Chains A and B, each alone.
Chain A
Amino acid sequence: MLDKQLQELKQLPEDKQLKEKIYRQLHTKKPKRFTGLKEALLLTIMIAIAFFLFILPPAQQTTTSAGDITLFTAFGGEPGQFFARPSTLYTGVYHEENEQLLDFFRTFDEHMIVTEDVKLGEHIADIVMIQNGKQTRYQMSDTYLLNVDTGVFYQGDETYEDAFNIAYTPHNDPGFAIFMPIVVIILHGVISNRYKKANITFEIPVKYNAPVIMGFLVIMGSSMFYHQQIGPIFKPLLIIFPVAFGLVMWKIIKKIAPSPFVYRMEMIRVLVSFGLLILLLWSM
């Protein structure tokens, strides 16, 4: 009975006027101005602008903490190069709140005496000190300290050694970085299992996958090289790349996913993978 009623719905009469109207509109409608990639780029730029507007207000970076002094440190400096910046929005820059180190810089003149031009030691920590609105750059090494702005070297007492040990401490959290691939592997396993249960075989074709992955690896590799060899990268700028590649992947999946189920699964994969990557970059 129900079958017969449903078959009757097939007899919906054709609306000739509507058919002609749509046909006319198809040939008069202007082509869309934005292709998928342009749309993704536009979205990325919009997100980046919003991000900058929310993150950039400099108040956080210039106000002093711990009374009258603020320190930003970068672990592992090089003679002739300076990696610290007066903001934690740069990769590898840490806002130092250790009271002992802050006290050392407050009483700098009591512990340090000017010495002739010497070479810094092998282990170096870069410091930006902001005191009463004035910014001074230092390089602390295991032997001497250099005021980068004036080029004057200093020799310190035992208090300096303690201060150096505090400043020369890496602040990365390796546990977080190890945790990420585990999450990604588990996620891929769960999705593969769901596909297996639903008897679906889906893979993004190499012609789509390969250029995106290659482009992503080249850009991220270049960024890491820049961070290691040249200097800190502004984090909001760095995060634009995974956001842009995430959007490109979204457009590809939207185009090729054979069913809403596959679309959902692949979007979860992209969101989690790129989300974790953004978290990792932000924590650098």
Chain B
Amino acid sequence: MDFERAYEEHFQVTYRFFLYMVGHNEVAEDLTQETFLRLLKGQYRGEAQLGTYIRQIARHVVYDYFRRQALIKWLPFREDPRHATDYIPHEWLTQSEERRTLYIALQKLKKEHREVIIYRKIEELSIEETAQLLAWNQTKVANTLRTAMKALAKHVGGDDDAR
């Protein structure tokens, strides 16, 4: 595997996934680094497409992060300072009110809903690719997406146009 090429091609997709999943620039940066570190140390055998393989690593990394957060929330003295209320989102997202609203609404969704929306609506992966990544069947992907879009529309305050 040509790591430099893999990094060049998949950095942006990976960083974007984390930014929308965790809603924080610095955390997204750390998790992106962790993902490529695992890729660098791991043994990619070409069993899956490289893009799919990196997305799988990224999923493990982000859910590890959520698990750590779930543990930390039971320890009030270990509150993560990066979740301070004065946090400012990514600059590009603040340049448009529409984008900013959507981004904030995304963060209010359940993790699974957020993830399926990222894959299907932002990354525009096919339903088959999404099902493979999430280890779900296609019906579950479609149903979860429908529910997620309804929830997102509710948070944004507009109509649901999920299909």
Q: In the docked arrangement, what's the CA distance between A14 and B29, Å?
A: 12
- When C-beta atoms are compared, the residue in chain B nearest to A27 turns out to be B40
Task: State the B residues within 8 Å of A (CB).
Answer: 7, 11-12, 15-16, 19-20, 29, 32-33, 36-37, 40-41, 60, 63-64, 66, 90, 92-93, 98-99, 102-103, 111-112, 117, 121-124, 134-137, 139-140, 149, 152-153, 156, 158-163
Instruction: Evaluate contact between B11 and A8: CB separation under 8 angstroms.
Output: no
Q: State whether A22 touches B33 (Cβ < 8 A).
A: yes
CA distance A158 to B36 in the complex (A): 79
Query: Provided the pairs A12-B90, A259-B136 are in contact, do residues A3 and B121 lie with their beta carbons within 8 angstroms?
Result: yes
Contacts of B92 in A (CB 8 A): 12-13
Partner of A7, one of B66, B122, B149, B156: B122
* Bound CA–CA A148/B21 (angstroms): 70
Known contacts A12-B92, A22-B32; is-contact A5 B98 (Cβ 8 Å): yes
Which of B15, B20, B135, B153 contacts A2 (CB under 8 A)? B153
Q: For the complex, is A214 an interface residue (Cβ under 8 Å from B)?
A: no
User: How many residues on chain A are close to B (CB under 8 Å)?
Assistant: 31
Q: Which residues of B contact A254 (CB under 8 A)?
A: 60, 64
Q: Convert A200-242 into 0s and 1s, putting 1 for each residue whose CB lies closer than 8 angstroms to a CB of B.
A: 1010000000000000000000000000000000000000000
B134 contacts A2, CB within 8 Å? no
A residues within 8 Å of B by Cβ?
1-3, 5-10, 12-15, 18-19, 22-23, 25-26, 29, 31, 198-200, 202, 254, 258-260, 262-263
In the assembled complex, the CB of B5 is this many whole angstroms from the nearest CB of chain A, namely 12
- A3, A6, A259: which contacts B134 (Cβ < 8 A)? A259
Q: How far does the alpha carbon of A260 sit from the alpha carbon of B70 in the complex, in Å?
A: 13
A12: nearest residue on chain B (CB-CB)? B16
Q: How far is the CB of A5 from chain B (nearest CB, A)?
A: 5
Instruction: Tell me the complex Cα distance, A216–B63, Å.
Output: 29
> Which of chain B's residues has its CB closest to A2's CB?
B161
Q: Which residue of B lies closest to A29 (CB)?
A: B37
Flag if B161 contacts A10 (CB, 8 Å).
Answer: no
Contacts of A8 in B (CB 8 A): 98-99
Whether B33 and A3, one on each chain, are in contact in the complex, defined by CB atoms closer than 8 angstroms, is: no
Cβ-defined partner of A259 (8 Å) among B29, B135, B149, B161 = B135
Beta-carbon nearest neighbor of A263 in chain B: B63
